[in-house]
A and B are shown apart, each in its own frame.
Chain A
């Protein structure tokens, strides 16, 4: 097109204009934001401790409370501990004096567990030998909220060498913890003889712990003897 000619678009110049517009549109769309996908992919993990547990050190480091680090700075990268297996089986026992057997006065039971401090931050949470520590956590892969159940598999009875029995339902417990108020994750209860019962629930992605104080109801008169029985605690996550 030369100067002086009337302004008009030929078919070819229109095609070039359209092509230019298409090119511009394509260039414009390529400047869109870059997108990455954040995918919650943490491994699901559980930890249950009844009595003594297994951590290489307090998870948040140290043995003082408040912890020297904020919680986000806990863990191995900050010198904190890592969970371990501990095969120890702790006992809870009571010796009833002959003059009080069966008098209906509950007898306090004591544990051989030495655990007083929470492995989270070293906080002195339980008192021994009167209390048994129970605690742990359930990590989901992301923000999914779900509870992990803790059950107790309870035999029908404690037995002595002569085959005499005391029903497990004669043992009960209360639940507390230093500084705690409100509901405990492992509430008070009484064993159900010969069954599997739920003894607690762990909210996901939080540390759950309680201190259990056991007692023997002492409202029957069994033959003299040493009565033994084992309760198995199991944690189940969905």
Chain B
């Protein structure tokens, strides 16, 4: 093998190692099947946080509370350890704040849209994880012109 050939082979080998190694560095995040989740109310009634407004329209926020029976399918990770996050992607109508309390199976927390927060870390011992979460959504009132769908999901970090 010539010097140039050796260099090319070393570069190719290094590139191959890089390609092989890349997936091992990043945790594999998988959206968890939550098709068993049910909501107690069909929609979240958003109300003004205060009955009277401030001197300007700015700063007026609307809040709404809903209770959801969460049932997520963690069977694929049974008898393994996992880290489960509640993720609220950035979406319309704008910045959404979400806080929640739980019955204890998952962790309570709060986040803003575009982020995720850890709700469970530990061994997966049952095929399904269930909890009842009371969500409170907070949105700038100037954005709430009509009913808007808001999506969130649970995701598992593997590895």
Contacts and interface: CB of A to CB of B under 8 A. Distances in A.
Q: Does A pair with B?
A: yes
Interface in A68-103: 70-72, 74-76, 80, 82-83
A24 interface: no
Contact of A37 (B35, B56, B150): B150
Given A30-B35, A143-B143, A205-B57, A38 B64 contact: yes
A143 B61 CA distance: 10
A59 B145 contact: no
B33 A142 contact: no
- Majority SS at the chain A contact face: loop
B111 interface: no
A72 B49 contact: yes
B124 interface: no
Interface residues of B, number: 49
B148 interface: yes
A37 B148 CA distance: 5
B28 interface: no
A71 B64 contact: no
Interface in B52-79: 52-57, 59-62, 64, 66, 68, 73
A151 to B, nearest CB: 21
A143 B144 CA distance: 5
Given A33-B89, A36-B68, A38-B150, 11 more contacts: A30-B73, A33-B152, A36-B150, A45-B51, A59-B50, A71-B54, A82-B51, A137-B52, A139-B53, A145-B57, A206-B55
Interface of A: 27, 30-43, 45, 47, 59, 70-72, 74-76, 80, 82-83, 120, 137, 139, 142-145, 203-207
